[in-house]
Amino acid sequence: MISGTQTLFNWSLRSDSRSIYPHIVRAGFAGFMLLAVMGAWGQSLTGMAPGLSFFRWICNLNVLLIAVAGISYFVSAVTEEKDSGTLALLRLAGASPLSIVLSKSTSRLISALMLLLIQLPFTFLAITLGGVTWQQIIAAYLALAAWLCVVANMALFCSVRCSTSGRAAALATAVLLLFFASGPLLLEFSKLSSVSWLSPRALNACRHLHDEQQLMNVTTRLDEIFLTTASLKFVAAQFWRSTALGGLLFLCSVLLFNCYSEPADDNTHGTSAAVRRYTIGRCWKLPVVWKDFLFFTGGKSFLILKVFAYAALIAGFVWFHQLENPNATQWLSPDLTRVAFGIVSLLFTVEMLLYASNSLFLEVRQSAVASLKMLPIPTPLLLLQKTAACAVALSPGLLAVLFLCCYDGAAILDIEDLPGTIVGWIIVMTLLTHLTILLSLYTRWAALPLAVFITMISFPCIGGAAVGLTEITRSAAALNGIPWGVWLGVIVNLLWMWLFVLLPIEIEIVNRWNRLSQQ
C-alpha cells in the first residue's frame, strides 16, 4: 500500500510540476505582488506608511482566492476520475483509498501551499513601508495555511461524497456560504431575548456556537493580527482548530471512499415512463439548449428545487423579522430587505460562475466537442444556445432578485451608489465569466480561481478607465443639455468594453472550440 501511495503521489506532483499552467499562476501572483509593493512604495513617498493597508489587502485577496479554489480546484480531486470513468481502473490496479486521496488531493494542497510560500519574500518588503512587523506576517500566513488546509479537505470530502464535479462544487459552495453566514445569524439569534418561546438555553447555545465559529474564522484571526503587535502569538486557536478539522475531514474522506466510489448514474431522470416524460419530455426546437438544460443544469426537477430554495431563503428572512417585531405589519424591514437582496445576489453570482466554469469544460473532458461540431449549427450559435441553457437555469435567482426589488424598491434604491454598484457588478461579471469560459478550454482545472486572479489584477485599469470615461461623458452631456448623462456614460462604457475587451475573448473562445473539435 505504501508503494502504491508513494507512486501515485510522486506521479501527481511530477505531472503538476511539468504542467505550465501552475507555474504561470505562481509567476503571475509573484509579479502582481511585486507591482503592488511598488505601488505602495510610491504612496510612501507622500509621507504615509502604507505597509499595513497593503498587507491587509493581500491577506484578504488570499482568503478570497482560497475560497474560490475550494469550489473549483480542490473540489474536482476525485470527481474528475468519476466523470471520466477511470476511478474503477485505479481500483482495479490495486490503488487503495488512501493512495488515491493522497495523490489527487494532497498534491494539490502542496501546490497551493507553495503559492502561499512564494509570496513571503515580496510580503516581507511591506515591513520597510511601515506599519507591519515580521511577527504579523508569519502569524497571518500560518492562519492562511490553516484556512487552506480546512478548505482543501472540505472540498475533498465533497468530492468523495458527490458523484459529479457539479454537485461537489455546489455542496462546497453551500458549506462555505453557510460557514460565513452562520456567524452573523447566530449572533442575531442570540439577541432575541424578547421572544417568549425561545428558552435561555437555546440563546446560550447560539451564543456559544457563534463564539466557536469566530474562533475558527480566518477573517477574525486576521483582524486580530492587524490590530495588535504586542505579545502576538504565531499559532492561535484558529490554526489548531482548522488543522484538526482538516485532518478529520481527510480521515472521513478516506474511510468513506469505498461507500461513494460508484460512478455517476447516467439515468438520473427516473426509470418510470411517466417520470421520464415529465423530467425529459420532447426535444426543444433548440436542441443544444434542451441538452444542456436537462443534462448539465439538472432539468426541471432541479429548477423547481432552486425555486423552492430561494423561496425558503426569503421566507427565513420574513420569519426572522417576525421574531424581532411580532406586531410588524410588513413582511420585511428595509434593512432586512437589503440584506436579503445582497445574499440572493451573491448566490446568483456564485451560480453563474459555476455554470461558466463547467459548461464547456465538461464537453472537453468528455471528448464531446467533435460530436457537437458535427451538428449543422454554426459554432457561435451553438455557444449561444449553451449560454441560453444556463440563463434558463439561472431564472430562479433572477426572479428572487426581481421579487425583492418589486417588494421594497425604495429600500433597494437607498443602497449607497446603487448605479455604480450595478455597473461595476456587470463589468466584473461579464469579464469574469468570459475569462472563466476561455480558461476552461485551456486548463484542466483551476479556471475559475485563475479568472478571479486575472480580473482582480486588470479591474483597477478597466475600472479607472470606466470612471474617467463616465466623468467625460457626464461633463459633455451637461454642456450640451443632455439629461441622464450618468446612464449615457454607462452605455458608452459597456460599448467600449464589449468592443475592445469582451469581443476579442469571444473570438478566441470560438477559435479554441474549433481547434479542439479538430483534435
Q: What pLDDT is attached to residue 426? A: 85
pLDDT digit string (tens) for 11-41? 666 666 666 656 666 666 666 666 666 666 6
Q: Which residue has the higher pLDDT, 308 or 490?
A: 308
Helix residue spans in 359-415 (DSSP H): 361-365, 369-373, 379-393, 395-407, 409-413
Burial 178-205 (b: 16+ CB within 10 A, else e): ebeebbebbbebbeeeeeeeeeeeebee
Radius of gyration of the chain (CA): 25
Q: Are 352 and 394 a contacting pair, CB within 8 Å?
A: yes
478 vs 122 pLDDT, higher one: 122
What is the distance between the alpha carbons of residues 476 and 488, in angstroms, rounded to a whole number?
Answer: 10
Structural domain spans, the chain: 1-262, 271-412, 416-519
Strand ranges (E), 158-250: none
How many percent of the chain have pLDDT more than 90?
A: 14
- Arithmetic mean of pLDDT, 182-199: 73
Is residue 385 pLDDT above 50, yes or no?
yes
In contact, 108 and 25? CB cutoff 8 Å? no
Q: Give the up-direction half-sphere exposure of residue 70: CA atoms within 13 A in the CB hemisphere.
A: 27
How is residue 197 written as a grid cell?
418561546
Torsion sign over Cα 111, 62, 211, 186: negative
Taking CB atoms within 8 Å and a gap of at least 24, the contacts of 493-499 are 493/423, 493/427, 493/466, 493/469, 494/426, 494/427, 496/469, 497/427, 497/430, 497/431, 497/462, 497/466, 498/430
The model carries a pTM of 0.73
The whole-number pLDDT of residue 1 equals: 46
Alpha helices in 45-96 (DSSP H): 51-70, 79-84, 87-92
Question: Which pLDDT belongs to residue 11?
Answer: 64
Distance from the Cα of residue 122 to its chain's centroid: 26
Q: List Cα–Cα distances, 100 to 93, 149, 336, in angstroms.
A: 11, 18, 46
State the pLDDT at residue 34: 67
Q: Cα–Cα distance between 373 and 370 in angstroms, integer? A: 5
Q: Cell digits for 149?
A: 488546509
How many other C-beta atoms can be found within 10 angstroms of the C-beta atom of residue 424?
A: 15
pLDDT confidence tier of residue 177, bands split at 50, 70 and 90: confident
Nearest to 156, CA basis, from 245, 85, 229? 245
Provide the pLDDT confidence category of residue 352 given band limits of 50, 70 and 90: very high
d(CA 108, CA 149): 11
- CA-based max dimension of the chain: 79
* Other beta carbons less than 10 A from residue 503's beta carbon: 12
Q: Predicted confidence band at 56 (pLDDT cuts at 50, 70, 90)?
A: confident
Distance of CA 159 to CAs 27, 69, 194, 263, Å? 28, 13, 43, 12
More confident residue, 474 or 359: 359
Cα gap 275→470, rounded to integer Å: 53
91-119 b/e with 16+ CB inside 10 Å = b?
A: beeebbbbbbbbbbbbbbbebbbebbeeb
State residue 386's pLDDT score.
93
Output the pLDDT for position 20: 62
Half-sphere exposure of 288 (CA within 13 A, CB side): 25
The C-alpha cell at 29 is 501572483
CB-based burial of residue 465 (10 Å sphere; 0-12 exposed, 13-18 middle, 19+ buried)? middle
Better-predicted residue by pLDDT, 172 or 50:
172
| Distance, first Cα to last Cα, the chain | 38
Cell, residue 207:
451564543
Q: Where are the beta strands (DSSP E) in 198-342?
A: none
Query: Where on the phi/psi map is residue 94: left (φ > 0), alpha (ψ -120 to 50), or beta?
Result: left
Q: What b/e string do you get for 295-327 counting C-beta neighbours within 10 Å, with b at 16 or more?
A: ebbbbeebbeebeeebeeebeebeebbeeeeee
Note whether 345 and 401 are within 8 A (CB).
yes
Task: Look at residue 278 in the predicted model and tell me its pLDDT.
Answer: 56
How far apart, in whole angstroms, are the C-alpha atoms of residue 444 and residue 492?
Answer: 36
The three-state secondary structure class of 224 is helix
Q: Is pLDDT above 70 for 280?
A: no
